[in-house]
Amino acid sequence: MAQMNMLQAINQALHQAMSNDERVLVFGEDVGHFGGVFRATAKLQETFGKDRCFNTPLTEQGIVGFANGLAAQGMRPVAEIQFADYIFPAFDQIVNETAKFRYRSGNEFDVGGLTIRTPYGGGIAGGHYHSQSPEAYFTGTPGLKVVIPRDPYQAKGLLLASIRDDNPVIFMEPKRLYRASVGEVPEEDYELPLSKAELIREGSDITLVGWGAQLELILKAAERAAKQGIQCEVIDLRTLLPWDVDSVAASVEKTGRLLISHEAPLTGGFAGEIAATIGDRCFLYLESPIARVCGLDTPYPLALEQEHMANEHKIYEAIVASVQF
Amino acid sequence: MTDNTVRPQAVYQAHLLDGQGSAIPTLKVLQADGSLYPDATLPTLDRDTALKIYRSCVFTRVLDERMLAAQRQGRISFYMTCTGEEAAVLGAAAALEQEDMIMAQYREHAALHWRGFTTEQFMNQMFSNEKDLGKGRQMPIHYGSRALHYMTISSPLGTQIPQAAGYAYGQKMQGQDRCTLCFFGEGAASEGDFHAGLNMAAVHKAPAIFFCRNNGYAISTPTSEQYAGDGIAPRGLGYGIKSIRVDGNDMLAVLAATQLAREVALREHCPVLIEAMTYRLGAHSSSDDPSGYRSKEEEARWQEHDPVRRFKLWLLAQQWWSEGEDEALYQAYRDEVLAAVKVAEKLAKPALDTLVTDVYDQVPEHLQQQLDEVQQQVRRYPEHYPITAGREQ
């Protein structure tokens, strides 16, 4: 075990994935010699050569299109999109190509080796285009997996599992935690399972569900609620597509209440999917309406970031309201 | 870090370049009467290969004629012909090795026949029956075959262009002596993926051959509304890609250009761009009527440049082929296609569980549940699901 931050954990995972399998390639804007604008790909080019870790021209559709071709050929590309806000030029390649490659060909061809890494999320004064959480655009696309870690240990284990999974994965990294989140990470190679939620705090009064950086805020709100005698059960979904319905349903059947919180705007956000599914599965167990604490339905603002965000205060208040319903 | 080989020359007066006077020339080998242009150089081509190419031309003509009719009769839902572009497609395909990858747009099924896709396989795809390699999921003419190194077609235009760059990069990384041939039309070349793909291939030195079928129209849009420059070929030069323009109705010129392109792509580990000037003699698709946007006179003018006839005249002049053999071949393919239609349209559609397989490598739990619900639905209302009701799943 070693103390490392999330970037170091991701960097170690990439080193191990490339050492372990020579088909793994890492590329994107500024990932080469420079090692990435966040340093996630530091030393990869030095260690594995320019053929396996390289800068691409500044074209997101080109990066993902190129990665689709490489994966179809049998390689295992790990493509980086510099900010999730800039993944939209590649939306067509991801949604119409990546996601449908295996299905449309009758499994004659697939791009299962592909992983797309991208930093996402707000709380860093990033304004409109360095703060977005676009996961729900992808969770509506059959064929993709969407994975989001919450700390360095998760980041390494989930990234290694994503790279080795035989399906295309969009791996979204909470950039607010890149350096802020520090923890114990095993030096050895390990994987954490995809499509498995993790129970990270046990409680009996309400279930709180979230992913990525949002869990830090959810846990703070849960601590505060505990001081008022409210025991929150907290679940990290970890994989949004396909998501672990059973774990969330089992928890809600125990607590009778559910709150989902994410950074992305409320309308069309993934909380809606969870709420509808759990409302359906756990109807007779629910003692209060399912609560969603999310970003406002606005573009991500700069000056009024705190007001916009689904912060711990908003989550705390929603917990109390749910329990007192 | 720059390693550009072109060193710009300085000038000291403001002067805008407009590209006039630097139009790209067109490679031609065969004249309209089947004789060679003086000074023209023949590509490498023996008798057997020439006749094999010609047989694929005839098969494609027959398939297109019969299947367009089948669509008109309502037997298949959709069709697109290759008519007028057989030389562009087959001249390129015949210059490759069998294990080179082909990533096509949709109007290149002649190349698939060249590679050995059987008449039955064409039919199974078009009738989306249970023997279709694609499991009946895509519209007719969206063919693909791993065994024949022919990437499954998808409808979104231009998406295969950056993919071809990546595929070719993978071939190079693995030390394979193989390249990727990427077909697209001049309309698709207006997509951002064209720019992305060519630039990526050039920068990363991927052995991809980008092959543009410039057939004058993208559905109803003439090239004058598609681009204002000198077509597609000069764009390659802007990316640092070796480029050539060729008469796309001249089988021998296309073959010569693509043979050279393959040799250069593999020797120098770099992409090559070919622009084949041709004409889409048929409608865009079975859903299109070109009389709304172009004249019969224009079509008749291009009929004079029919690439299949031009190539046949050359074969006749070589005494490698005769009119008698020609008639017999057309008749044999007509019989074969008709018989295959009758078999393929009677085969069952894919089983119900193919609805949910191959979305992922394994069927996830939520999809299995959705399949179970559909199965129950089919059992309850069999009259509404004639394709799957009553069948063992």
Domain count, chain A: 2
The reported pLDDT for the residue numbered B392 is: 63
Give the range of the structural domain holding residue B334, as residue numbers without chain letter: 26-344
Q: Is residue A305 part of a domain?
A: yes
Same-domain pairing of B259 and B297: yes
Same-domain pairing of B260 and B362: no
Please say which residue of A153, A185, A217 terminates a domain: A185
Closest CA to A169 of A177, A159, A183: A159
Minimal CA separation from A205 to chain B, in Å: 28
Same-domain pairing of A174 and A214: no
Same-domain pairing of B314 and B379: no
Q: Is residue B5 part of a domain?
A: no
Same-domain pairing of B224 and B187: yes
B365 in contact with chain A, both atoms CB, cutoff 8 A: yes
Q: Is residue B75 part of a domain?
A: yes
Q: Is residue B133 part of a domain?
A: yes
Q: Which H or E element spans position A271? A: helix A270-281
Same-domain pairing of B233 and B370: no
Q: Is residue A181 part of a domain?
A: yes
DSSP string for B292-361: GTS-HHHHHHHHTT-HHHHHHHHHHHHTS--HHHHHHHHHHHHHHHHHHHHHHTTSPPPPGGGGTTTSSS
Same-domain pairing of A137 and A272: no
Minimal CA separation from B127 to chain A, in Å: 15
Q: Is residue A193 part of a domain?
A: no
Residues forming a β-bridge with A258: A207
Tell me the CATH number at B45: 3.40.50.970
Residue from B3, B129, B163 whose CB has the most chain A CBs within 10 Å, to mutate: B163
Q: Is residue B389 part of a domain?
A: no
Please say which residue of A157, A185, A213 terminates a domain: A185
CA quadruple B286, B292, B293, B297: dihedral sign: positive
Domain count, chain B: 2
Q: Is residue A191 part of a domain?
A: no
Closest CA to B97 of B44, B57, B141, B61: B44
Same-domain pairing of A56 and A121: yes
Q: Is residue B66 part of a domain?
A: yes
Same-domain pairing of B380 and B236: no
Give the range of the structural domain holding residue A294, as residue numbers without chain letter: 198-323
Q: Is residue A7 part of a domain?
A: yes
Same-domain pairing of B358 and B298: no
| Residue ranges, chain B, pLDDT below 50 | 1
CB-CB contact of B30 with B310 (8 Å): yes
The reported pLDDT for the residue numbered A155 is: 98
Same-domain pairing of B208 and B253: yes
The pair phi, psi for residue B210, each rounded to 5°, is -90, 120
The reported pLDDT for the residue numbered B265 is: 98
Same-domain pairing of A166 and A42: yes
Tell me the CATH number at A137: 3.40.50.970
Same-domain pairing of A237 and A281: yes
| Residue ranges, chain A, pLDDT below 50 | none
Q: Is residue B39 part of a domain?
A: yes
Q: Is residue A221 part of a domain?
A: yes
Same-domain pairing of A234 and A169: no
DSSP A106: T
Alpha-carbon distances, residue B325 vs B169, B250, B319, B332, B347 (angstroms)? 44, 22, 12, 10, 33
How far is Cα A156 from Cα A149, in angstroms, rounded to an integer? 9
The reported pLDDT for the residue numbered B5 is: 63
Same-domain pairing of B37 and B65: yes
Same-domain pairing of A13 and A151: yes
Residue A166: its chain B contacts at CB < 8 A? 361
Q: Does the ipTM exceed 0.90? A: yes
Same-domain pairing of A108 and A232: no
The answer to whether A216 is a known catalytic residue is: no
Report the DSSP pairing between strands A53-55 and A24-28. parallel
Same-domain pairing of A220 and A137: no
Same-domain pairing of A76 and A171: yes
Q: Which H or E element spans position B267? A: helix B251-268
Tell me the CATH number at A284: 3.40.50.920
Same-domain pairing of A181 and A211: no
Same-domain pairing of B323 and B359: no
Among A80, A97, A130, A135, the one annotated catalytic = A130
Same-domain pairing of A13 and A147: yes
Q: What is the pLDDT of residues B263-284, one digit of tens each?
A: 999 999 999 999 999 999 999 9
The reported pLDDT for the residue numbered B4 is: 57
Q: Is residue A244 part of a domain?
A: yes
Same-domain pairing of B323 and B261: yes
Please say which residue of A121, A156, A185 terminates a domain: A185
Query: Whole-model pTM above 0.90?
Result: yes
Residue from A66, A95, A114, A170 whose CB has the most chain B CBs within 10 Å, to mutate: A66
Residues B360, A107: C-beta atoms closer than 8 Å: no
Residues B154, A66: C-beta atoms closer than 8 Å: no
